[in-house]
Structure 1
Amino acid sequence: MPMKLWNRGGLKGRIIHVAAWTIGSYAAEAALRLLSSVIMTRILYPEAFGLMAVASTLPIAVAMLSEVGIRSSIIRKAGDLEDEFLHTAWTLQVIRGIGIWIIVVACSALLKVPAVREALPAESPLADPQMALLLSLTSSTLAIAGFQSINFFVMDRKLDARATTLCTLVSRVVSIPVMVLFAWVYDSVFALALGAVVMQVVMTALSHIIIPGIPMKFHWDRMIAGPIMSDGKWVAMSSASSVVTTLGDRFILSVLMTSVQLGWYSIALLLLEAIRSLLLKVQRKLTLAVLSALSGQERNIALRNFYRFRQPIDLAAFGASGALFTGAPYLVHVLYGSRYAESGHILSIISLNLLSLPYLFIMDMFFQNKRVRLLGVFSAVGTLSFIICLFAGSYFWGWMGAVWGVALFRWPQVIVANVAAYRLGWIAVWKEVMMLPVFGVGMLAGWSPKLLGF
C-alpha cells in the first residue's frame, strides 16, 4: 500500500507536476531577472547594487525573525481547511506585514541620527544619505505582501503550482519596464526599489484574482491563531539562525566593504542565487509534503524514495558548483563586461556554497519529526561557524577573506546534522558522498570555453 504513494498517479506524479511547474516558472523568472540585471548594470554603476543589497536585507531579516508559521500550518493541518481558519491566518498575515514595515521604518530613522552616522565607516553603504529612504521604500513590499491571498499557500498544500506561477511571472514582467524606464530617466538606485514595489503590488492583486479559493476577509479567532503562532515560534527560532547564516554576510560586508565592492558582491550573489534559489524553491514546495507521505513507509523503502527525490537536486547542486568554480569569470565577463570583472572572482569562491545545499535537506527531516532540540543545536553550530568564518576571514585576509568565509561556513553545521541523522538511521553515508565526482565534471564544463578558445 505505501508504494502507491510513489506511483504515477500518487505522490510521484504530483512531485513531477509541481517540480516541472516550479522549474519551468523559475527558469522563466530567472531569465527575466538576468535580463533586467544585464540592462540595469548598463545604466547604473556598481554602487547602486551595493546600496540595494543592504536596503533589501534588513526588511527580509525582520520578516524572518517575525515568522509565525502561517504557510507551514496550512500545509500540515490535518483535515479540511475551514474558512474561519484561512481568514484568521490571512488577518494574522496582514497584521504581521504592517508591523514589519513599521519596525523597519523606525530602524531606518536611526540612520539619520548624527551619532549613528558618525559611528559608521564613511564609505559604508549604511552611511549613504539615501539609505534611510531606500530602506523605508523597500520594506513597504512586506506590508503589501501581507495582503496577498492566503490561497497562495493552499495551492502549495495541494501541490498545484500553476496559478501561483502565473502570478509570479506576470508581476515580474510588469515590473521590469517600470524599473528600466525610471533608471534611464533618473539614473537612481531608487529604480531598483521601485521595481520591487511594483512587482509586489501586481503579485498581491493577482493573488486575489487568479488563484482559486475562498475570498479573503478579516476575521479573528483566538483558538485558531493561538496554535498557528505556537507552531510559528519554533519556525522563528530556526529563522533566527537563518537570518545570521543567509543574510548576515550582507550586514557584515556592508561594514567591511565600500558600496562598489558590495555591488560586485551582490551581482555575484544574484547569479549564484539564480541556481540556489531554484533548488531551494523546489525543496520548500515539496519536501514537507514528501516527508509527510514517506513517514508511513517502511524505513528502507522510505530511505530509497527519499534519495530518489533528492537525486536531481544533488546532481544540479554539485554540477553547478563545479562549473561556476572554474567558469564564473568568463560568465560574468560575457554578461556584464569589464566593469564587473571582480564579480566573476567572487562568484568562483561563493559557488562552493552550493556543495552544502543537498545536505541541508536533513534539517527538514528533523523538523518533520519535531526534533526541536537538535534543530536548536544545528542552528547554534551554523551561527557560530558563520561568525567565526567571516570575522576570521576578514581579520586575516580582508574583505575577500570574508567572502571565503561565506563559501565555507556551512560545513560544520552539515557535518553535525549528518552525524545525528546517521545515528538515527535516516541517511546512508555512501549515498551522501556519491555525488562528489559530479563536482569534477562541472569543473571541466566550466573550463570548456577557455579550452575551446572562446
Structure 2
Amino acid sequence: MKFISQRISGLLPDRESLRHKILASAALSTMVFAMQVLARIISTVILTRILTPEIFGVFAVVMTFIFVLEMFSDLGVRSLILTREGELDDGFLRSCWTAQILRGVLILLVCVLLGFCVAWGQDAQLFDIQSSYGDPILPYAIAAIGGFSIINGFASPAKFVYEREMKFREVSIAMLITVVCTTVLTIAFAFWLKNIWALVLGNFANALITVSLSYIMFKGPAMRMRWNRKDFRVIIDRGKWIIGHSALTAVMTMADRFVLGFAMSASSFGFYYIARQIVDMVQTFLNSIHAQMGLQVFTALQKDNAAEELRRRYYRYRILFDGLAMFGAGALMTFSPTLVRILYDDRYADVAGMIQILAIGLILIGPGLLREAYSAQRRFREMTMLSLVSAATVWIGLSVAIWGFNSITAALFVVALHRIPEIILLLIKGGRENWVSLLHEVRLIPLVPAGALVGWGMAWAVQALT
C-alpha cells in the first residue's frame, strides 16, 4: 500500500480525508479481489472436472440474456443515489427500492417470453443442434434465471448510501461474504446435480445472500413500496440517459457472446467463456476499485476549475490502473499456456490461445477511465455516443470476421481491440478540454514486455519444477 499512497498523495491535497478513503478503498478492494481470485480458481478447478465444457457454453448464453436485460432496464439507481444533490431522504430511497422491484418483475416476464421464443426456434430448427442455442435445456434455464432479478430487486439501497459516503469497509466485507458463500454453495450444487442447474442455483444463492446482507450490514430506513411522482420523475429523467448508455454497453459487451454462440460449437464456446473469465480477473479487480470511488473522485477533481491541475491529479489516480493492466496483459500472453495446464485437464487446452489474444485488450483499460469524467459532470449524452461507437465497432467487426472471413481468430482480436475507436474519441475530446496528455498515455507501455518477461519466467520455473 506504500506505492499506492505515494501515487495518490497530492491527488487531493485540500481533501485529506478523501485521500485516506481512497487508500482504504484500494486496500479493501485488493483484499476482496484476492479472495475472489482464490474462490474463482477453486471453483473453476472443481467445476471443470465435474461439468462438461458444453454446460459452460450453454450457461454463457443464459447469462448473456440476463445481462442484456438488466442493462437495458438499468435506471441507474446506484448512480442517482451517488450523485443526488443535497441530503438523501427516506422517501427517495423507498422510491428507488420500488423501482428496483418493478424492474425485476419486468425482467422475469421477458425471460419467460424469451424462453418460449428460443424453444420455438429450436422446434423450427433455426439453430445448429451442436451450438449452445440448440441445447434443449436452454429455454428453461433462461426462464428460470429471470427469477433472481426479482430477488435482487428487494436489496436495500442503503448500500449505495454507504458508497456515497465512502464507507467501503462494510461494502467490502459484504462482497467477501457473498463470494465465499456463493462459491461453496455452487460447488455443492455441482456435486449434487452435475448439470447446468447447479450454476443457475448458484446465481439464486448469490442473489439471496446479497439481499440478506443489504439489510444486515447496511443501516437504513425500513423499506416499503412508495410511488411518488416527483421521485419517479427524477429517476426517469436521469435514468433515460443511463438506460441508453447501459443498453449500448450491453450491446457492446455481449456482442461476442451472441455472435460466437452461434458460430462456435457448445464446447468451443465453453472454452471461450472460461478464457474470458480468466482475462476478466484483472479487469474485474481494477473495475471494482474504480467503481467504488471513481465517480466520487472525478466529482471532487472537477470542483477545481484549473484544467492543468485536474490533468495532473487525474494521471496520478490512473497510474495504478495503467500499470496493473499493462503488466497483466504481458504476463497473461506468455504464462497462459502454463496456467491452463495447471488449472484444467487436457480437454481445455484450447483456452490458452484464446487468453493470449483477449489479454491484449487489457491495455485499453486505463484510457477508458476518462468516461467517468463525463458521468461526474452528468454529460450522459457524450457517454451514450461513446457507447454507440464501441457497440457499432464490435458488431461490425465480429460480423466481418465471422461471416466475411470465416475466422474465429479474427473475431477474438475484434473482441480484444474493439474499444480503440472509442478510446481515440475520448483522447480527442479530452485533449480539447485539456484533460489529456499523450505523453502520459504511453509512458507505461514498457510494462507490457516487462510483464511478458515475468510471465515467461514463471512458465519456465513451473516447467523446471514439474
TM category (shorter chain) comes to: over 0.9
Change (3 A) 1:431 1:32: same
Note the alpha carbon deviations across 1:370-393, whole angstroms, 9 max, x for none: 444433432222122112221222
Q: Which residue of 2 aligns with 1:393?
A: 401
Q: Which residue of 2 aligns with 1:323?
A: 331
Identity across matched positions, percent: 29
State whether structure 2 residue 183 is matched by structure 1 residue 185: no
> 1:244 offset after TM fit, Å?
1.8
Match of 2:427 among 385, 393, 418: 418
Question: Aligned equivalents of 2:93 and 2:443: distance in 1?
Answer: 43
Q: Which residue of 2 aligns with 1:118?
A: 125
Q: Which sections of structure 1, spanning at least 5 residues, go unmatched?
A: none
Question: Aligned equivalents of 1:362 and 1:206: distance in 2?
Answer: 32
Question: Aligned equivalents of 2:78 and 2:377: distance in 1?
Answer: 18
Q: Determine if contact 1:134/1:190 at 8 Å carries over to the other structure.
A: yes
Question: Aligned equivalents of 1:4 and 1:435: distance in 2?
Answer: 19
Q: Determine if contact 1:59/1:101 at 8 Å carries over to the other structure.
A: no
Q: Which residue of 2 aligns with 1:10?
A: 17
Q: Determine if contact 2:11/2:316 at 8 Å carries over to the other structure.
A: no
- 2:448 counterpart letter in structure 1: F
> 1:179 offset after TM fit, Å?
2.2
Q: Determine if contact 1:110/1:116 at 8 Å carries over to the other structure.
A: no
Q: Which sections of structure 2, spanning at least 5 residues, go unmatched?
A: 1-9
Q: Which residue of 2 aligns with 1:368?
A: 376
Change (3 A) 1:58 1:4: closer
Q: Determine if contact 2:326/2:445 at 8 Å carries over to the other structure.
A: yes
Match of 2:83 among 76, 89, 101: 76
> 1:423 offset after TM fit, Å?
1.5
Change (3 A) 1:326 1:218: same
Match of 1:150 among 157, 167, 181: 157
Q: Determine if contact 2:245/2:387 at 8 Å carries over to the other structure.
A: yes
Change (3 A) 1:131 1:245: same
Question: Aligned equivalents of 2:222 and 2:46: distance in 1?
Answer: 38
Match of 2:303 among 296, 316, 332: 296
> 1:164 offset after TM fit, Å?
2.3
Aligned length: 452
Q: Determine if contact 1:51/1:131 at 8 Å carries over to the other structure.
A: yes
- 2:262 counterpart letter in structure 1: V
Aligned to 1:357, what secondary structure does the other structure show?
helix
Deviates more, 1:106-115 or 1:137-146: 106-115
Instruction: Report the TM-score when normalising by structure 1.
Output: 0.95
Deviates more, 1:426-435 or 1:372-381: 372-381
Match of 1:38 among 45, 53, 60: 45
Aligned to 2:151, what secondary structure does the other structure show?
helix
Match of 1:88 among 82, 86, 95: 95
Aligned to 1:118, what secondary structure does the other structure show?
coil
Deviates more, 1:102-111 or 1:159-168: 159-168
Q: Within 5 Å, give how 1:22-421 maps onto structure 2.
A: 22-113=29-120, 117-297=124-304, 298-394=306-402, 395-421=404-430
Question: Aligned equivalents of 1:218 and 1:193: distance in 2?
Answer: 29
> 1:365 offset after TM fit, Å?
1.5
Change (3 A) 1:123 1:303: same
> 1:242 offset after TM fit, Å?
0.7
Q: Which residue of 2 aligns with 1:433?
A: 442
Q: Determine if contact 1:164/1:207 at 8 Å carries over to the other structure.
A: no
Note the alpha carbon deviations across 1:297-347, whole angstroms, 9 max, x for none: 222222111111111111011100111112111111111132211111101
Q: Determine if contact 2:308/2:435 at 8 Å carries over to the other structure.
A: no
Note the alpha carbon deviations across 1:176-208, whole angstroms, 9 max, x for none: 333223322332111111111112111111211
Question: Aligned equivalents of 1:317 and 1:125: distance in 2?
Answer: 32
Q: Determine if contact 2:308/2:434 at 8 Å carries over to the other structure.
A: no
